Amino acid sequence: MKKFFILVFCAVVLFPASAHCEIENRCLLVAQLDDPSVLASRNGIAKIIATAKKCKLNTLFIQVYRGNHAWFESKTGDCNHYQECLKGVGSDPLALLTKQAHLQNIKVYAWLNLLSIGNNPQALILKKHGNNILTRNRGLKVTTKDYKIGDQYFLEPGDPTVRRELSQLVEELTTTHSDLDGILFDYIRYPDTKPDYGYTPSNIARFKTAHPGIKADKDSPAWQNWKREQVNGLLELLSEKARSVHPGIAIAATGCAPYTRAYYEAFQDWPSWANSNIVDFVLLMSYPATLPDFAKDVKDAKAKVKDIKKLCIALPAYKLKKSPEIFFQQLAEAKRSGAGGYAVFHYDSLIECPDLTKPLVGH
């Protein structure tokens, strides 16, 4: 711990307080991991804002869609959690948080986990449309459990039904929460565990129409590019929907790191998002627990984008609760990178380990 405080002292010299203002987006990801929800009470909402203010963070990513559960009024997602929070708060919890955050000059983005429906085989979207909207490999599928990938179920990004449902979700959110500063689209990708997915009836039929005579084989460049096009197309559709309902809203999306994982396993071409107007910035999710691997991911990302300011670097606080000195080193590396921002993942980690807040409070 002594080493940690020496590092903090050195940081005050190397990174004076005035330099903090140079980072445009200083963000905190607030996940829905607890029961009751972090949005279940006015005290809980006030604590989030107080933590961000104390740590000199100016942007909150509030998770309001996860596992096909919605923490806002929705017909697309199961909003039972929203109804519970509504009772506890007495008004819309996201709207209240946004209003209170704005009083402290803190921006609020709604964070949506889209193509993953988590470990939720009873998801409302599956009850409505069946298992054919779940992405799949070529193994035999008899029950819903056969579609499970690790500990999650994933929707097929190019499926017309999936696109229609998620577009409606974005419309519901932006229509009822016009005061939001932005949206963070998360899980816009294929699974990256043994990445031979995409073999839904709808996706195969559409691929054959677009590429007659070419097999949907995992080693086929045409098939690989097709899957990237489905991911890109979904993100473009949702970004356009959000901007059409809420002109001026900022759009961010998460990108996997390292880049080889994103491009070849998750079929996620996030540099093209950053290098175009599809999103305003990409949140680079680089979560190694060491400084060298983290620095390598950041360096690799910088080489892939035209404007480093269109990257926001996520910091794996959840992995570093016993190593706050490494968290500080990664924070310093993110600042040195010239990126447009950094984001602490996640809020609960700061609450559980106050030492993680020290380098944030000190800058």
What share of residues in the chain are helix, strand, coil (percent, to 5)? 50, 15, 35
Is residue 32 a contact partner of residue 348, using CB atoms and an 8 Å limit? no
What pLDDT, in 10s, does the model give residues 56-106?
999 999 999 999 999 999 999 999 999 999 999 999 999 999 999 999 999
Q: Is the pLDDT of residue 181 over 80?
A: yes
Nearest-angstrom CA–CA distance, 67 and 152? 9
Determine which helix (DSSP H) or strand (DSSP E) holds 252, and give its type and residue range.
strand 250-256
| 3-state SS assignment for residue 53 | helix
Is-cis flag, bond preceding 36, omega within 30?
yes
The DSSP code for 25 is E
pLDDT band at 193 (very low <50, low <70, confident <90, very high): confident
pLDDT tens digit sequence for 305-338: 999 999 999 999 999 999 999 999 999 999 999 9
The answer to whether the beta carbons of residues 70 and 81 sit under 8 Å apart is yes
When pLDDT is averaged across residues 297-309 and rounded to a whole number, the result is 96
pLDDT above 80 (res 12): no
* Domains, the chain: 23-361 (3.20.20.80)
Q: Which two tokens stand for residue 254?
A: 């998460």
What angle, 0 to 180 degrees and rounded to 10, lies between the N-to-C axes of helices 221-245 and 160-176? 30
Q: Are 144 and 117 in contact (CB under 8 A)?
A: no
Give residue 288's identity as a one-letter amino acid code.
P
Q: What is the pTM of this model?
A: 0.93
Per-chain mean pLDDT for the chain: 93
DSSP structural state of residue 122: T
Q: At what angle do helices 324-336 and 291-302 cross, to 10 degrees?
A: 20
Neighbours of 176 (CB within 10 A): 15
Question: Which three-class secondary structure state does DSSP give residue 289?
Answer: coil
Q: Nearest Cα to 326, choosing from 294, 352, 354? A: 294
Per-residue DSSP letter, 84: H
Q: What type of residue is 255?
A: G
CA 56 to chain centre: 21
Termini Cα distance of the chain = 19
Residue 195's pLDDT band, with cuts at 50, 70 and 90, is confident
